[in-house]
Amino acid sequence: MREVSGEGLPELLREMGAVAIKVDSVIHDIEDAEGLPEDAVIEPVTLETREGIEIYRHSTSHVMAHAVKDLFPETRIAIGPSTEEGFYYDFDTERPFTPEDLDRIEERMREIIAEDRPFVKRTLGKEEALKLFREMGEPYKVELLQEIEDREVTVYEEGGFIDLCRGPHLPSTGYIKAFKLLGVAGAYWRGDEKRKMLQRIYGTAFQDRQKLEAYLEFLQEVKRRDHRRLGRELDLFSTSDEIGAGLILWHPKGSIIRKVIEDFWRDEHLRSGYQLIYTPHIAKLELWRKSGHWDFYRENMYSPMEVEGVDYEIKPMNCPFHITIYKSALRSYREFPVRYAELGTVYRFERSGVLHGLLRVRGFTQDDAHIFCREDQIEEEIESVLEFTLFILRTFGFEDYEIFLSTRPEKFVGTPEDWDRATGALRLALEDKGLAYGVDPGEGVFYGPKIDIKVRDSLGRPWQCSTIQVDFNNPERFDVTYRGPDGREHRPIMIHRALMGSLERFFGILIEHYAGAFPLWLSPVQIGIITVSERHAGYGEGLVKGLRDAGIRVEPFFGSEKLGFKIRQATVRKIPYSVIIGDREVASGRFPVRKRDGENVGPYELEELVERLKAEIDSRSLSSKL
């Protein structure tokens, strides 16, 4: 596009709906179009593009900072980027912001937007910029400037508010049509818990009010499904300051679900030719030096403990243990592939600021497995793992997923040639299975490339779960061998894989995916028996026994409370089915079944009900079959 030049070009671009321009893949402010060469190819950036909405939200964060400085002049500003779903800005203030403060900030933002002031870019020498921000009393900007190596920097000004920023920005504040401040949280400066705690205001912005309202409704649904809230309400799990942050206490109902998941996992692994193993929680530190974890993963490990003069380390991974079991006997090529699987609990250091319910913890159980195979078996094994992974995910109700191939990171062990061979094997397996995938450059683990699978839940949110990793390095480090058909020692290939990732994280995802209303086979209580009055308790106890004898998880509601209260109890606990027992049911031996959504089906006799429930459970159906 270049039919107009000079001063008319920015105006033409604005008329086309552009908020910025792209030249040779670099984003610029619209006003920069005036100074570009005549032969430059300019691509308009609109609010319908990812880059456009990032600019829109980043500009809104500047307007928020402007409003904060107007209302609270003593506040010092830090950084304010756009995010995938909105924006935030960090502030150094003497007292935390209140909800009433956010209302005032929003009102002042609307006034600034109504003024439709232009975002004006200025280029300053670094020393000039340092002087400017020192005079403004903005130490966080000064610190950022001191780390910039460029001799010149850019600042943006609108309505008297000046901020250090690379840009680009919207042409003016009036472009902002719909925004909302969402809340406040603490955030350490530069993410360093040794630095000062700042106040982070979160917000979001959309091109129009309708999109904003839809997003706010989405946030309400996210809040309704929050696994931490549902974990308390449904009595599934908890954490305790007495135990320690990031360490999960599984309550009886949560433990029942975990047992169901584990039993399914073990049965399917045995059916797929895996051997189940168990390994310790600690090992000598020297093991982790040998594996490379101590050199490449130390920041995620805990301090060693001394036992009888020898340093031990709590395990962050299961792989060295599996290697040791493999090496406990001489191995022949005829045994291959050797597949070890373990539900192994590991411990990793996570900063307190990133811990989040079940989703980010310090102790968790990986559904881990390691496969030892010949090089000519790699592709077949990876394809088998991919099939197994998708089967597991679909069984739990995840049909939508994204696949990524993660390549060599900056810090790695092994040779580039081995990395290329491993990456090629993963890529070939994906392509042979006809699976679409993206490439995630530099995101492999230190010992090898990997395939990551992200599932999308019922709200369309992506979650990292499954991973498949090819490892040429650890077999070399641990001198892992097998006897080949030529009678000589050969080096096997090692494949690391986890299907669910960790039981804690996967359980948290399941809670939010189903909003706590699990399908029958996963529900901690599968049916409730509710009596109309206490005189029906004897008959109800017979039903409870009959159902439990059939292996069905049942909870009685035989108290003296009113019937409506007991029905509400079963509903709040999200029990899939309930049976209400009164005089008519006792007399006939047949009873209607109330579904979780309030629909009544039946009536059934006990034997027929057991048969139908067991059929639904055994099929692992994700929807009601009664």
To the nearest 10 degrees (0 to 180), the angle between helices 139-146 and 126-135 is 160
b/e burial code for range 563-572 (CB count within 10 A of at least 16 → b): eeebbebbee
- Give CA–CA dist 22/14, Å, rounded: 14
Q: What count of residues does the chain have?
A: 626
Residue 576's identity, in one-letter code, is: P
SS3 220: helix
How many degrees, rounded to 5, is the angle at CA 438 between CA 432 and CA 440?
120
Looking only at the bridges linking them, the beta strands covering 450-456 and 462-471 are: antiparallel
In Å, what is the CA distance from 254 to each residue of 266, 491, 499?
Answer: 18, 43, 20
- Give CA–CA dist 99/182, Å, rounded: 10
- Known active-site residue 348: yes
Peptide bond just before 603 cis, omega within 30 deg: yes
| Choice among 141, 315, 339, 496 that is catalytic | 496
To the nearest 10 degrees (0 to 180), the angle between helices 503-514 and 252-271 is 110
Residue 364's identity, in one-letter code, is: F
Dihedral pair phi/psi, residue 188, rounded to 5°: -70, 140
- Known active-site residue 450: yes
- Give CA–CA dist 29/14, Å, rounded: 11
Sign of the torsion formed by the C-alpha atoms of 524, 526, 531 and 534: negative
Supply the DSSP string of 571-584, one letter for each residue: HHTT-SEEEEE-HH
| Choice among 199, 366, 469, 526 that is catalytic | 366
| Choice among 29, 101, 293, 319 that is catalytic | 319
- CA quadruple 18, 19, 21, 26: dihedral, nearest 10: -140
The residue among 411, 412, 420 whose CA lies nearest residue 473 is: 412
Looking only at the bridges linking them, the beta strands covering 197-206 and 178-188 are: antiparallel
- Give CA–CA dist 339/475, Å, rounded: 15
Distance of CA 454 to the CA centre of its chain: 9
190: phi > 0 → left, psi -120 to 50 → alpha, else beta; which? left
| Choice among 32, 367, 368, 418 that is catalytic | 368
| Choice among 348, 427, 536, 573 that is catalytic | 348
- Known active-site residue 464: no
- Give CA–CA dist 529/273, Å, rounded: 41
In angstroms, how far is the first alpha carbon of the chain from the final one? 62
Residue 76, exposed/middle/buried by CB under 10 A (0-12, 13-18, 19+)? middle
Give catalytic residue positions. Answer: 319, 348, 366, 368, 370, 450, 496
